[in-house]
Amino acid sequence: MQKREIQETPLYSLKLYNFFLYGAMVIFSSFFPLYLQDIGMDKLEIGSLMAIGPFVSVFANPFWGYTSDRSRNLRRILLFMIIGTLLLLQALFHVHTYVMIYVSMIGFYFFQSPLFAQSNTLILSYIEGTDRKFGSFRIWGSFGWAVTAAVAGIVVDHTGVSSISTIFTILLLAALICTLAIPPLKSTVETATIHLRGFGSIILNGYFISFILLGILVSIPNSINGAFMSLYITELGGSKLMLGFAVFMSSVFEIIVFLLFDRFLRKKMTVMVGCLALVSLLFALRWELMALATDPIQIVFIQALHCVTFGGYFYVGTQLTVLFTPAAYRSSGQAVYTLTWSGISGIVAGFAGGWLFQNFGGEMMYHAGVFFALLGSAGFAIMWYMLYKNGYQPGHGGEHKPGEHKPGEHKPIEEAPQRQ
């Protein structure tokens, strides 16, 4: 059987794919703002430019998610997306006017922004029906992010920001080669036919929409930090080497977090939503510490909280999305979930974060993050109480398979058989 064959395959290429993909993306997210500053842009201009990606992702994530579901060949779609990212990257670093950089970034983000969501779906597709755990593959992404950031910090500190495009290109080519080496996964006979009506049932699910909206609140300050942390460190007197180690600290311990969640997290909706409420509180603590920081070395150690905050939210949110969406619409569901982190919240973060940083400084920018994180935590706490009291019932209009509970049945979904 196809699943048995996949289970017996080591899938080293899938692990290496995550290593190189995440390694490439940390170069862009952490060091690209320094490149923009180096060519003469101020913080507001950098923020507005970085907001293009989240804006494009609002359309790109659903488009590629739906395309992947329709094609039933996610590996081929990922190849196409990586090639598009690689080609647009060359244009992005070889144009010199603000308008051309703007145009190049629109095309770049159209291919790049959905890569993480579709990569998560690829992992979920390969481990479904096997004993493998999501975290055992995703930790390779964290490892790639951490190691690449540390090494790149040393390289860029010695060679200058001009080397960013070369490092990014090499890592993307390595990810492309690993994608070609991943064994194909054929659709099983149980895969449902994809209809827009079914996709509509996902986004009309009240609990799923609440999860997405609360995630946007929590992720706004996280996106602000991602866009401006490098500039914040340099303002405090830190070097590019210091930035590399700060990013290293933010991801190296994610490996432990993912392994612990793999082992101990209960796949129960109330437990997962409760975890998100606690993680949001930790986000508030993290941003308060960032606001109070007076030395770049403090930023390096504060970034260790990233493994529990972003790592915890990412893992739990990905698994929670699986509970909310049928298998046939998994790519679409993950694409919508990714909008929490790289869509609307990123747009707000780019403009609002740039404006706050430019006019009031980094301390006020991070204090605003505390407020957003506390709002998100309160919302998840209310959501947890409602689920605890009433159980989870899918919204009307959704498609139900045999064995699933229809609206009006009061048995919580976590007690129901798992979807296949």
pLDDT in tens, 154-174: 898 888 888 888 999 999 999
Residue 157's pLDDT is what? 84
Residue 111's pLDDT is what? 93
What sign for the dihedral angle of Cα 57, 62, 67, 72?
positive
Report, as an integer, the average pLDDT of 351-378. 94
Percent of the chain topping pLDDT 70: 85
Lowest mean pLDDT among 19-33, 99-113, 162-176, 311-325: 311-325
Report, as an integer, the average pLDDT of 282-295. 96
Q: Could you identify the residue written with the tokens 């997306």?
A: 81
Residue 78's pLDDT is what? 92
Q: Could you identify the residue written with the tokens 């260790």?
A: 304
Q: How confident is the model at residue 180 (pLDDT cuts 50, 70, 90)?
A: very high
Residue 405's pLDDT is what? 41
pLDDT digits (tens, 9 = 90+) for 143-156: 898 889 889 888 98
DSSP state of 265: -
pLDDT digits (tens, 9 = 90+) for 235-284: 998 888 888 888 888 777 777 887 788 888 877 888 999 999 999 999 99
Better pLDDT: 166 or 416 = 166
Query: Which range, 73-77, 208-212, 356-360, 371-375, is most confident?
Result: 371-375
pLDDT digits (tens, 9 = 90+) for 53-95: 778 877 887 788 778 878 778 888 999 999 999 999 888 888 8
Report, as an integer, the average pLDDT of 389-416. 46
Residue 248's pLDDT is what? 86
Ordered alpha helix ranges (H), 293-419: 296-302, 306-324, 330-342, 344-348, 354-360, 362-390
Q: How confident is the model at residue 322 (pLDDT cuts 50, 70, 90)?
A: confident
Q: How confident is the model at residue 377 (pLDDT cuts 50, 70, 90)?
A: very high
CB 14 within 8 A of CB 132: no
Total residues found in the chain within this entry: 420
pLDDT digits (tens, 9 = 90+) for 90-135: 888 888 788 888 889 899 989 998 888 888 888 888 888 788 888 7
Cα–Cα–Cα angle for 338, 342, 348, rounded to 5 degrees: 135
Residue 184's pLDDT is what? 78
Better pLDDT: 330 or 46 = 46
Q: Output the average pLDDT for the chain.
A: 81
CB 251 within 8 A of CB 169: no
Rg (CA), the chain: 21
Residue 394's pLDDT is what? 57
pLDDT digits (tens, 9 = 90+) for 195-249: 455 556 666 778 888 898 999 999 999 989 988 998 899 899 888 888 888 888 8
Beta strand extents in 237-339 (DSSP E only): none
Q: How confident is the model at residue 194 (pLDDT cuts 50, 70, 90)?
A: very low
